[in-house]
Amino acid sequence: MRALVLGKGGREHALAWSLRLGGAEVFALPGSDGMRDVAEPVAGDPGDAAQVLAAVRRLSIDLVVPGPEELLVKGVAEDLRAQGAAVFGPDRLGAQLESSKAYAKTLLRAAGIETAAASLCRDYGEVEQTLAMHPTRTVVKADGLAAGKGVIVADDAAGARRAARRLLHQYGTVLLEERLRGPEASLIALCAGEDFVLLPPAQDHKRLLRGDQGPNTGGMGAVCPVPLPLGAEEIAERTIAPLLRLLAQRGTPYQGALYAGLILTPQGAMVIEYNVRFGDPEAQAILPAMRESLLPWLYGAARGELPRSSPLADVATACVVMAAEGYPEDPQTGAVITGIAAAAEEALVFHAGTRLGPQGYETAGGRVLCLVGRGDDPAAARAAAYSAVSRVQFAGAQWRDDIGIAAAR
Ligand code: AMP
Ligand code: GLY
């Protein structure tokens, strides 16, 4: 079995790690030097289906796993599939669940799934009208892919007006959504038509600073598994199964990872977004929590034969992201990193944004390294992750010191 992961970040490193665990020979396009422990980098542009197809043929690839949403939205999975490749990931239409918040809301309503109330606004007049009627719809979302920068959670209507003005100007259309309160959880299903299996639920830490303060980021850490009220299966029956049924009934079955972003409110779990891929950094926490490789599920789904049993969490994990100086606004690159080998004795090290320079690895992106501790319980996982963090040094490194504190209590 020869697998090709598309992308180059921490999530893709974790995917390659999991596929390697299943005995696959793994390539990553473009990958990075930091992934060489599990995957061989292949030069090329993962957004160019013709280049990827050439690599698939040249390397006799059996399974392609795209990491980032941009590739799916662009239709790389669909185009490769049309050429006969086995690909784990949705077509263009399926990917719109993530690229258009308005499309996702329409489907959620049609499928009868619980979600935050929202209004679509095409101009500032509509924003004013909505807030006059619904002053608590203060979460402003751009209706397009915005790489984590398209959601502003405002405290009040005045803040929402300011945010809406800015996002309207940038993106043309915004969604004003009811602000929900409660812990968040990421529930990811591996899907093939109406069939799906669940991965153990995880929790991301999106804000830059401890105690969920500071700006939103791509994610500063994650833990797995996390308990869900009612249990993951029951929540998936309400948040994932109806959507897959609806898409299948419409003749556009969904294949790939479907990630439901949930807020656990006192009224129950509500969907705030769907993503059409593995979360980053959730994947780095979820995949190492399982003893098994995801290979049989990803390959099975790509061929329409998803195994029925769910992969289960065997251990607890905590993933701490070390980010570059200036992240998220203006990440600085080129700082020399030391201590990676020592960290690897305590935890798994997934490279998110590094490159090999004359003095070894250096920073090359906003999120630099993901250190994943594993343990029999959340406290042990957390201790292992932070023990690894203490070994790594680079100028201006930023990380949160409270990843998994709640889980470890
Ligand atoms: P999204 O890109 O939709 O995941 O939103 C980014 C973050 O904004 C989420 O992880 C939440 O922390 C927050 N958020 C999104 N929608 C809501 C909502 N309706 N109520 C409260 N917080 C939200
Ligand atoms: N960690 C959030 C995401 O991948 O969208």
Say what the pLDDT of residue 255 is.
Answer: 98
For residue 302, which of 56, 63, 5, 55 has the smallest C-alpha distance? Answer: 63
Say what the pLDDT of residue 146 is.
Answer: 67
Say what the pLDDT of residue 170 is.
Answer: 87
Cα dihedral 321/322/328/330 (nearest 10): -160
State the Cα–Cα distance between residues 107 and 97, nearest whole angstrom: 8
42 CB neighbour count, 10 Å cutoff: 20
Distance from residue 67's CA to the centre of ligand 2 (Å): 12
Say what the pLDDT of residue 119 is.
Answer: 92
Provide CB contacts within 8 A for 209, sequence distance 6+. Answer: 400
Q: Is the pLDDT of residue 149 over 70?
A: no
Say what the pLDDT of residue 62 is.
Answer: 98
For range 11-16, the mean pLDDT: 98
| Domains of the chain, each with CATH number or no CATH | 2-91 (3.40.50.20), 117-177 (3.30.1490.20), 184-302 (3.30.470.20), 316-408 (3.90.600.10)
Distance from residue 206's CA to the centre of ligand 1 (Å): 10
Q: Is the pLDDT of residue 338 over 90?
A: yes
Q: Which residues line ligand 1 (CB under 6 A)?
A: 116, 139, 151, 153, 177-180, 184, 206, 261, 263, 272-273
Distance from residue 329's CA to the centre of ligand 1 (Å): 19
Q: Which ligand is nearest to the CA of 275?
A: 2
Say what the pLDDT of residue 230 is.
Answer: 85
Distance from residue 184's CA to the centre of ligand 1 (Å): 9
Say what the pLDDT of residue 73 is.
Answer: 97
Query: Residue 322: how many CA atoms within 13 Å on its side-chain side?
Result: 30
| 190 in Cβ contact with 294 (< 8 Å) | yes
State the Cα–Cα distance between residues 21 and 348, nearest whole angstrom: 13
State the Cα–Cα distance between residues 13 and 1, nearest whole angstrom: 18
Provide CB contacts within 8 A for 118, sequence distance 6+. Answer: 105, 137, 141, 175, 176, 177, 178
Bridge partners (DSSP) of residue 115 are 271
| 88 in Cβ contact with 19 (< 8 Å) | no
Q: Is the pLDDT of residue 398 over 90?
A: yes
> How confident is the model over 42-69, as pLDDT tens digits?
999 999 999 999 999 999 999 999 999 9
252-261 core/surface letters (b: 16 or more CB in 10 A; e: else): ebbbbbbbbb
**pTM of the predicted model over 0.85:** yes
For range 124-146, the mean pLDDT: 91
End-to-end CA distance of the chain, in Å? 42
180 CA closest ligand 1 atom index:
20
> How confident is the model over 239-295, as pLDDT tens digits?
999 999 999 999 999 999 999 999 999 988 999 999 999 999 999 999 999 989 999
Q: What is the mean pLDDT of the chain?
A: 95
